[in-house]
């Protein structure tokens, strides 16, 4: 369970976990007839790094090409736009303009969108941070020209970023799915059918609606 992505996983005042990821994991455990144990991580990169440790059996992560070296993914279940925030006085007017010489971008190391930017940027450079909160600090300290993030998180954070604005457009669309260590081929086969059933039945969309997560979209078949 990745606490770094609050669109999927949150903790209430008592420390109890809730969110779309909890609903999905509980449904999976129910279908399999096994107990559910939630293993907590602060960041997605830590989850992926532990894929061969035996500490967890299944996770929900952004589907990203570099992760497929150690993980196999289910079909995508959700979609989120990723974009940028810039200072009000920035000359940048659209997300398509950010990949330019001299532009620096704050992004959390090993987040799905940071991995994408690492492989796709041709001119701009990335200032890698510990997590999204650290990215906010770096941006507020005027150490970078742009802040990268999932759009719902960026919009929610604008009140913490005085004299800043969200750029129109996006640099990618992030899809999330169940992730398994690559050697678990039978589990991967099961997830193909399981996820298609979740999508067709509307389970994912209902969970998003129940938790009122704006900017997270359930995919259809």
Q: Where along the chain do its domains lie?
A: 10-78+174-218, 79-172
Can you tell me the mean pLDDT for 93-103? 98
Third-level CATH fold of 79-172: D-Maltodextrin-Binding Protein; domain 2 (3.40.190)
Query: What confidence score (pLDDT) does residue 27 get?
Result: 98
- 10-78+174-218 and 79-172 agree in CATH topology: yes
Query: What confidence score (pLDDT) does residue 40 get?
Result: 94
Can you tell me the mean pLDDT for 193-209? 96
- With a pLDDT cut of 90, the percent of the chain lying above it is 87
Chain center to CA of 93? 25
Q: How far is 85 from 92, CA to CA, in rounded Å?
A: 10
Query: What confidence score (pLDDT) does residue 200 get?
Result: 96
Residue 162 pLDDT exceeds 90: no
Which has the minimum average pLDDT: 36-45, 139-148, 203-212? 36-45
Predicted confidence (pLDDT) per residue in 37-83, tens digit:
999 998 888 998 899 899 999 999 999 888 999 999 999 999 999 99
Q: How confident is the model at residue 144 (pLDDT cuts 50, 70, 90)?
A: very high
Can you tell me the mean pLDDT for 172-179? 95
Q: How confident is the model at residue 165 (pLDDT cuts 50, 70, 90)?
A: very high
| Cut 0.95: pTM above it | no
Can you tell me the mean pLDDT for 131-143? 95
Query: What confidence score (pLDDT) does residue 195 get?
Result: 97
Query: What confidence score (pLDDT) does residue 177 get?
Result: 96
Terminal C-alpha separation, the chain:
26
State the chain's mean pLDDT as an integer: 94
Q: Spelled out in words, what is the top-level CATH class assigned to the domain 10-78+174-218?
A: alpha beta
Hey, which residues does 146 pair with through a beta bridge?
105
Max mean pLDDT among 8-17, 58-67, 93-102, 176-185 falls in 93-102
Structure tokens at 70: 């150690």
Predicted confidence (pLDDT) per residue in 11-41, tens digit:
999 989 999 999 999 999 999 999 999 999 9
Residue 114 and residue 146 in contact, taking contact as beta carbons nearer than 8 Å: no
Neighbours of 81 (CB within 10 A): 18
Neighbours of 140 (CB within 10 A): 15
């Amino acid at each position: 369970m990745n606490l770094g992505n609050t669109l999927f996983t949150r903790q209430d005042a008592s420390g109890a976990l809730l969110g779309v990821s909890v609903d999905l994991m509980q449904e999976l455990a129910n279908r399999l007839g096994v107990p559910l144990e939630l293993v907590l991580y602060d960041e997605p990169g830590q989850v992926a790094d532990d894929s061969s440790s035996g500490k967890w059996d299944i996770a929900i992560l952004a589907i990203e090409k570099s992760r497929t070296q150690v993980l196999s993914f289910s079909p995508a279940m959700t979609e989120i736009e990723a974009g940028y925030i810039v200072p009000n006085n920035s000359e940048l007017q659209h997300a398509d303009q950010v990949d330019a010489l001299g532009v620096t971008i704050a992004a959390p190391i090993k987040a799905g969108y940071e991995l994408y930017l690492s492989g796709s940027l041709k001119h701009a450079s990335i200032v890698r941070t510990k997590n999204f909160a650290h990215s906010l600090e770096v941006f507020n300290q005027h150490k970078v020209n742009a802040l990268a993030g999932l759009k719902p998180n960026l919009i929610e954070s604008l009140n913490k970023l005085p004299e800043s604005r969200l750029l129109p457009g996006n640099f990618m669309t992030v899809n999330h799915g169940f992730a398994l260590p690559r050697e678990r081929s039978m589990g991967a086969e099961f997830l193909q059918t399981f996820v298609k059933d979740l999508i067709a039945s509307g389970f994912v969309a209902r969970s998003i609606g129940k938790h009122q997560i704006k900017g997270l979209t359930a995919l259809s078949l």
